[in-house]
Chains A and B, each alone.
Chain A
Amino acid sequence: MNKQFNQFRFWAIGLATSWLALFVLVPSLMVLVTSFLTRDADFLIQYQFSLEGWKSVLDPSFISLLWDSVFMAMMTAAICLSIAYPFSICLMGLPQRWRSIILFLLIVPFWTNSLVRIYAIQFLLGKKGLINQGLEFIGLIDKPLDLLYSQFAVIFGLSYILLPFMILPIYSSMEKLDFKLLDAAKDLGANATERLLRITLPLTLPGIIAGCLMVILPAMGMFFVADLLGGSKHALLGNVIKNQFIQTRDWPFGAALSILMIALLSFMLWLYYRATKMSNRAGGINDSNF
């Protein structure tokens, strides 16, 4: 009987551990190694140490491209945040049953095909799309605006796809907020702005950072959004990485770019932990304050 116990335990632990080790840990290390290897036209890579991949990252022409991508991702995060934060505040004012229904409605599209939804945005932004038709109908414009195939379109598409990723962490950090603090502040004479800036905002900071993390990183990777909405002019980091692996075949460069993304991820995670610590110290969430 004891043998059977060991068997189940062995399989439960072994299967998951080996899968994660083989298909998550090992490949990640391989990306790191690849970024330090030599590019080879015929065999993709040569097993020889080289810093060429990392030098390409510092190339001025690439830096401007990187900046473009970072800018679009940041704008996306800013737009998502400016919708998600008021949205979460509004949501908090509703009864619990409504909240879960609305959150559910928000999550449903998030699980459906994002490619298809980006494609649908073409109908919205196109020359004869809904927005142009609407503006012409009201009489605001005479001829249709060039909305599609622009940086604006890429940012629009990214924020459309990633909005739920911003709302969920912010909403859940607001749910944890102790409303007694707000009442106390009100009693002590703080006005609505002061309460927002000095209590709600600092205490929901972890949620904001988590949301930014879940928006910015995927935003830089979603090459199909730039492909379908940005034309060929507005590339994201994902497009560059994809090119290195599929067309140009500069694997070390592509790998170095991925390491860059992982570094950014780690930095934002670090920020998140800092913010969590800080909000625990400053607020009443942690019971060590009492």
Chain B
Amino acid sequence: MTRIFKLGFIGLVLLYVYTPILILVTNSFNASRYGYKWDGFTFKWYEKLFENDSLMEAGWHTLQVGLTSATAATVIGTLAAVALQRYRFYGKGAVSSLVFVSMLTPDIVMAIALLILFITLGIELGYMSLLIAHITFCLPFVIISVFSRLKGMDMSVTEAARDLGANEWNVFSKIIFPMILPAIASGWLLSFTLSIDDVIVSSFVTGPGYEILPLKVYSMVRVGVSPEVNAISTLLFVGSVMLIVISQLLLRKKGSL
């Protein structure tokens, strides 16, 4: 009896979490413009979406920023995690607290901090500023994902390799890298989803010349309900879910590779 009650409560919470998303997905196929009642199945919003050049361009920009910033954040973050795990160096404590702080800092504070930096340094707001900002907020997630994988690893293998004469680069590329590859891949995927979903930081650090999808969607939904937004939101949602499922599966499979 209590078990049924418990399951019921959990079910209700999950229903609450998924209902808005289900409405959105349903409405993207709904012929009714305002989506309050079902007027039949249609693909027309998706067709309209692909005809909308400015949306498509914004989507392309989002992909560009997402791919480059996720890759850069993964490279820097992986190296950082390895350095934090393997080496002792001056300022190590400061570096790990910076990682911690940058993860907890509210997005909006990070956004204005970076905006002030860009304006002071005279960096033009656009692709470059977006890229730097996205790398910065993705970085701690990669570092933590890789670091926790490294902590769970048996380090005696690397010691053996060192004893047998391998240098640090060889230890990294031949031993550590293959072992932490799942965590690296999952860090990349998380960074990519964070980047393509970000609204708060991007709205501060992008310029008028470089529009990205979430901001475009934001300006569209502020005006009111528009069915194309349902379609693009559904696509964004499906895309993110696929990436997340893959990244979680990568993390689950422990000890393989």
Residues of A near any B CB (own CB < 8 A): 1-2, 4-5, 7-9, 11-13, 15-17, 19-21, 23-28, 30-31, 34, 44, 83, 86-87, 90-91, 93-94, 102, 104-109, 111-117, 119-124, 126, 128-130, 133, 160, 163-164, 213, 217-218, 220-224, 227-228, 237-238, 241-242, 245-246, 251, 254-255, 258, 261-262, 265, 269
Q: Does B178 contact A (CB under 8 A)?
A: no
Chain B residues within 8 Å of A238, by CB: 108, 200
Contacts of A258 in B (CB 8 A): 108-109, 112-113
Specify which chain A residues have a CB less than 8 angstroms from the CB of B17 in the assembled complex. Answer: 105-106, 109, 160, 163-164
**Known A116-B236, A224-B199: A86·B9 in contact at CB below 8 Å:** yes
Q: Which of B181-223 contact A (CB under 8 A)?
A: 190, 193-194, 196-197, 199-200, 203-204, 214, 217-218, 221-222
In the docked arrangement, what's the CA distance between A183 and B193, Å? 43
Q: Contact check, A116 vs B237: say whether CB atoms are below 8 A apart.
A: yes
Q: Which of B9, B18, B135, B229 contacts A90 (CB 8 A)?
A: B9
Q: Are B3's CB and A93's CB within 8 A?
A: yes
Q: Among residues 116 to 137 in chain B, which have CB atoms less than 8 Å away from a CB atom of chain A?
A: 116-117, 119-120, 132, 135-136
Q: How distant is the Cα of A75 from the Cα of B99 in the complex, in angstroms?
A: 29
Which residues of chain B are near A12, meaning CB under 8 Å?
79-80, 82-83, 87
With A87-B9, A90-B6, A108-B241 as known contacts, state yes or no: A13 contacts B107, CB within 8 Å: no
The winner among B105, B194, B241, B245 for most chain A CB atoms within 10 A is B105
Q: Which one of A24, A241, A261 lies within 8 Å of B98 (CB-CB)?
A: A24
Once the chains bind, are A119 and B221 in contact (CB under 8 Å)?
Answer: yes
Are B108 and A221 within 8 A (Cβ)? yes
Q: Does B65 contact A (CB under 8 A)?
A: no
Tell me if B106 and A1 are in contact (CB < 8 A): no
Q: A13 to B76, Cβ gap below 8 A?
A: no
B21 within 8 A of A: yes
Q: Any chain A CB within 8 A of the CB of B35? A: yes
- Whole-angstrom distance between the alpha carbons of A11 and B236 in the complex? 36
B79 x A217 contact (CB < 8 A): no
- Separation of A128 and B23 alpha carbons in the complex (Å): 13
In-complex Cβ contact of A16 among B27, B95, B119 (8 A): B95
Q: Name the A residues within 8 Å of B136 (CB-CB).
A: 19, 23-24
Q: Which residues of B contact A130 (CB under 8 A)?
A: 19, 23
Pick the contact of B168: A4, A15, A27, A217 (CB < 8 A): A4
**Number of A-B pairs, beta carbon distance below 8 Å:** 236
What B residues does A119 contact at CB under 8 A? 24, 217, 221, 229, 233
Q: Please give the distance in Å from B193's CB to the nearest CB on chain A.
A: 5
Q: Is the interface of B mostly helix, strand, loop or mixed?
A: helix
Question: Given A20-B99, A87-B13, do A116 and B217 touch, yes or no (CB 8 Å)?
Answer: yes
Pick the contact of A109: B18, B89, B112, B165 (CB < 8 A). Answer: B18
Residue of B nearest to A228 (CB): B221
Establish whether residues B107 and A113, one from each chain, have CB atoms under 8 Å apart when the complex forms.
no
The complex places the Cα of A25 from the Cα of B110 at a distance, in Å, of 10
Is there a chain A Cβ closer than 8 Å to B10's Cβ?
Answer: yes
In angstroms, Cα B136 to Cα A237, docked, is 23
Contacting pair A87 B10 (CB below 8 A): yes
| A-B contacts, 27 listed (Cβ < 8 Å) | A1-B167, A7-B169, A12-B87, A16-B76, A16-B143, A20-B80, A20-B95, A24-B136, A26-B117, A31-B109, A93-B6, A94-B7, A102-B14, A104-B248, A113-B237, A113-B240, A115-B214, A117-B20, A119-B229, A123-B27, A123-B35, A124-B19, A221-B109, A245-B115, A246-B204, A251-B116, A261-B106
B56 within 8 A of A: no
A78 to chain B, nearest CB (A): 16
Chain B 59-84 near chain A by CB (<8 Å), digits 1 or 0 = 00000000000000000110110111
Contact yes or no, A221 B200, CB < 8 A: yes
User: Lowest 6 CB-CB distances: which A-B pairs, in order?
Assistant: A16-B80, A27-B113, A120-B20, A221-B108, A90-B6, A116-B233
CB closest residue in chain A, given B73 = A19
A140 to B24 Cα, complex, angstroms? 26
Q: Mark B15-47, 1 if CB is under 8 A from A, else 0.
A: 011111101100100000011100000000000
Known: A19-B139, A23-B132, A102-B10. A117 touches B200 (CB 8 A): no
- Give the interface centre of A90, A124, A130 by most chain B CB atoms within 10 Å: A90
Distance to closest chain A CB from B178 (angstroms): 16
Question: Which chain B residues border A126 with CB–CB below 8 Å?
Answer: 36
Q: How far is the CA of A193 from the CA of B240 in the complex (A)?
A: 42
Task: Using A24-B102, A123-B36, A124-B23 as known contacts, list a sample of 6 further A-B pairs with CB atoms less than 8 Å apart, ordered by residue number in A.
Answer: A21-B98, A114-B199, A123-B24, A228-B221, A228-B222, A238-B200
A245:B204 contact, CB within 8 angstroms: yes
Q: With A and B bound together, what is the CA distance between A245 and B204 in angstroms?
A: 8
Of A87, A218, A245, which one neighbours B107 at CB under 8 angstroms? A218
